Structure formats: C-alpha cells, structure tokens
Structure 1
Amino acid sequence: MRVSRHLEELILDGTLQPGDKVPSERQLTQRLKVSRPTIREALKNLRGRGVIETRHGQGSFVVGMLDDVNNETPLARLYYSHPRLLYDLLEVRELLECEAAQLAAERGTEKDFYKITKAYNAMNGKPEPVNQDIKIAGDVGKANLHMAQLDHAFHRAIYEASHNPVLVHTLQNLMQLMLNSVVASVTNLYHRDRQKQQIDKHHQQIYNAIMNRQPETAKKVASEHIRNVRDRILEIEREEQREERAKILRL
C-alpha cells in the first residue's frame, strides 16, 4: 500500500506524467527500500486500477488520467450556436489561467520549463501541421488554426506545470472550448498589428515571469492578457455593430 501510495503521489503532482515510464522494479526496490515482491504487488494494484500499463519488453508507463474531451459535449454545441458564451469562457480563463501561471512559477520543474519553452518557441516560429480532427466553430482558415493550436499549446504547458491535478482536470475538460476561444483571438486580433504586438508582449512577459519564478508577476500578466483579449474582441464586435447600423441608415 505504501509503494502504491508513493507512486500515486508522484503521478498526481506531475513528477510522473502520462506516457512517462515508471522506474523499474530494481530501481524502486533500491529507492524505497522494500522487497521486489512488494514492488510487484504495488504495480499489479496500479495496473488493475488502470493507473499504469505494462508494455511487453518495455516496462510500465503512466496512463493518461484525463481523457480527450468529446467535441460534441452539450456545452460545446451551445458554444457553436451561442457565440456570446465566448465572453463567459474568457472570464473563466482569466480566473483559472492566472492561478495556473502563478503556480507554474512556484512549482514548475526543469522538465516543465523545458516544455513551456518548447511551446513558446514553437508559437513564435514556424507553425507545425494542423490537426484536421479538431472541430472549430465557424469557418476558420488553416493558418489561423495553426496559430491557435500553437497559442493554446503554450497556455496548456503552463497549466500542466501548476502541479494541481484538480486545476489541470478542470482546464483539460474545457480544452475544446478553450481552443475555440483562442481561435476567436487569433481570427479577430492576430491580423491587427497593434493587437498582435500586445498579445506577443503579454506572452513574453508571462513566459519570463514563470522562467524567473516570479509568481505574482506571472499571475498579474496572465490576467491582463486574457482581459485584454476579451476587451479587444468586444471592442471589435461593437465597432462592427455600429457599421451595420450606419449601413441601414444609408439605405
């Protein structure tokens, strides 16, 4: 039981992440100072509960605790037909992602920082091939979807570095809606130089604050980033509404 508990805690705090290989029986025996039969029993227990899986000739690996969310959840379907939910979602993102940034700055490991850096560099470099399986509300060009996926991957690397499994689970279950909100940001703001420069500046500030372990700064800038995106999209929407009313008056 003690060995199972120890491995579960390593998984929950993110030290062992989905896809990571579990230390071998010999390594666990040496580290935990218990017998091999005890280790085998603990691994058997974790396998039986679906926490790890054993691959022939390779060893045991951590199974993903969070299933990919079905695109067709009721909330996702509502999002497609009620775009106003975008602003509610951005409010939730501000609440959760600013906390995630703070925790990432406090708790992030070197492995986490490597992943965040990789995602940050990818976001600022050449886009990778788009995942055609992802469904997005509305008509979105491939270039926008490329950028949205890279932007989203950066934020996802940050919240995974929070090492708070409940926070990660909550954000993971909102993943499809989160990506839709990033697509809205990319579609409406990335082609506007001033807005794109502000987004890039915020991303850089968030990245630097986390890498330099400045939790309060990371939280503050992450909140400012989401609020800025929400305010700018709302501003554009109101401008489009004014133009539409002006057209009617000219008829």
Structure 2
Amino acid sequence: MMHALPKPADPPATDPLARLLQAHPETVFDYFEFRRVMAGNAAALAAERATQEDLARLRACMDAMEKAHALDDPAQEAATDAEFHLAVYESAHNLVMSQVMHRIFDMLKVGVFYDRIDLYRRRGVRDAFLRQHQAIWQAIASGNPEAARTMAEAHINSTEESLREAQFANSRRDVALRRRAGSDLTGRIRAGQTAGKLVDK
C-alpha cells in the first residue's frame, strides 16, 4: 500500500540541515556511506515488495533515463536518475525510508552534496551509470533481493569513486591555473622593472 508523502517543511535553500551540510563539504563522503546502506536495503526490499504499479513506474523511469542518455542531455539524465532512485525507495514500501530519502534527494537536486550534472558530463560516467541503473532495475524486476542489493551498493561505490576522480581532476586543474597565473604575474612584474630601469638610464 502506497502512503501519501508529506512535503518537507522547508525548501532546500532554507532548510537548516541543508545549510549545515553545505557548510561542511567533507560530509559528502558521510552521505555516500549513508546512501550505501539505504540504497542496498531499499533495492532488496523493492525486489521483494514491488507491486505491478511500482514495476511500471520503475520501467517508465528507466525508459526516461535511456531516452535522456540517447539525447546526450546530462541535466535531464541526472533528473531521471533521481526519479528512478526515488521510485526504488517508494517501491520498498517503508514510509520512514521514503520520507527521509525524499528530503535527501531534495538537497541533492540543488547541489548540497555535489554537482550531479557536472558528474554526468564526465567522460565515461554516463555510460557506466546507465548500465548500473539497468542492472538494478533488472534485479528488482526479477524479484532477486540479493542481486538488487549488490547492484545498488556497487552503483553507490561507483558514484563515490567517480566523484573522487572528478575532485582530483578539478584540483589538478586549479593548481595548474594558479601556477599559470603566477607565472604571468611574475613575467609582467619583471617586464615592468626592466622598462623602469631603461627609463632611469
């Protein structure tokens, strides 16, 4: 039986919890630790409890994700990704889990933990994520709780690893840009000093 889900009291921009988490970027990896537990359990429960209506919704989410992938639309693909996961949580038929994860995904959609759209722009990430979502869907549709748990946890691990790689790449790029800016500044200063000396002579 599906339950009506109450809306969060505050939008993500004014939610005290969202503001607290956004002020501490290191909590992104606490988020992944939490998601690993929740995603695995939710997928396993969904494989056991999903109704025909749940399976139809999951199939529709999967279709939408595949269409967005074919269009090479990272923003739309990230949105359909979120809808798929929320459908999995609701298919677990645990009201507390659904409500908690709706709040988490509201924060995720506005970038409280990390920029999901930017992650989808990374080379190879989109293809890997699509295959992982398809594997989760197939395990749930076939009623295999252990496979669903394994696939869901593997997807969270892959997402975390992709984010670490993206952060490392961004860090290297920022260092390179700072070095380049420093070199340009040094070059301009030296040129100015030389010009001044020539004028003095």
Normalised by the length of structure 2, the TM-score is: 0.76
Q: Partners of 2:178 and 2:75 in 1: how far apart?
A: 33
Q: 1:148 to 1:69 in 2, by over 3 A?
A: farther
Deviation string, structure 1 residues 82-115 (Cα, Å, up to 9, x no partner): 4333222222111101110010001111111011
CA RMSD of aligned residues (A): 2.4
Q: Partners of 1:126 and 1:146 in 2: how far apart?
A: 6
2:127 is equivalent to residue 197 of structure 1: yes
Cα pair 2:64 2:80 within 8 Å, conserved: yes
Find the partner of 2:54 among 112, 124, 128: 112
Give, in angstroms, the shift of residue 216 of structure 1.
0.6
Q: 1:178 to 1:192 in 2, by over 3 A?
A: closer
- Among all aligned residue pairs of Structure 1 and Structure 2, give the percentage whose two residues are the same amino acid: 27
Q: 1:145 to 1:76 in 2, by over 3 A?
A: farther
Give, in angstroms, the shift of residue 146 of structure 1.
3.0
Bigger Rg over Cα: 2
Give, in angstroms, the shift of residue 249 of structure 1.
4.3
Aligned twin of 1:29: none
Aligned twin of 2:163: 233
Aligned twin of 1:185: 116
Unmatched 5+ stretches in structure 2: 184-201
SS in 2 for 1:124: helix
Give, in angstroms, the shift of residue 234 of structure 1.
1.1
Cα pair 1:76 1:177 within 8 Å, conserved: yes
The letter of the residue matching 1:229 is T
Q: 1:152 to 1:87 in 2, by over 3 A?
A: same
Aligned twin of 1:67: 7
Q: 1:147 to 1:237 in 2, by over 3 A?
A: same
Give, in angstroms, the shift of residue 231 of structure 1.
1.1
Q: 1:220 to 1:245 in 2, by over 3 A?
A: same
Aligned twin of 1:100: 42
Higher percent of residues as helix: 2
Unmatched 5+ stretches in structure 1: 1-14, 19-63, 128-142
The letter of the residue matching 1:176 is D
Aligned twin of 1:44: none
The letter of the residue matching 1:111 is E
Please show how residues 214-229 of structure 1 align to structure 2 within 5 Å: 214-229=144-159
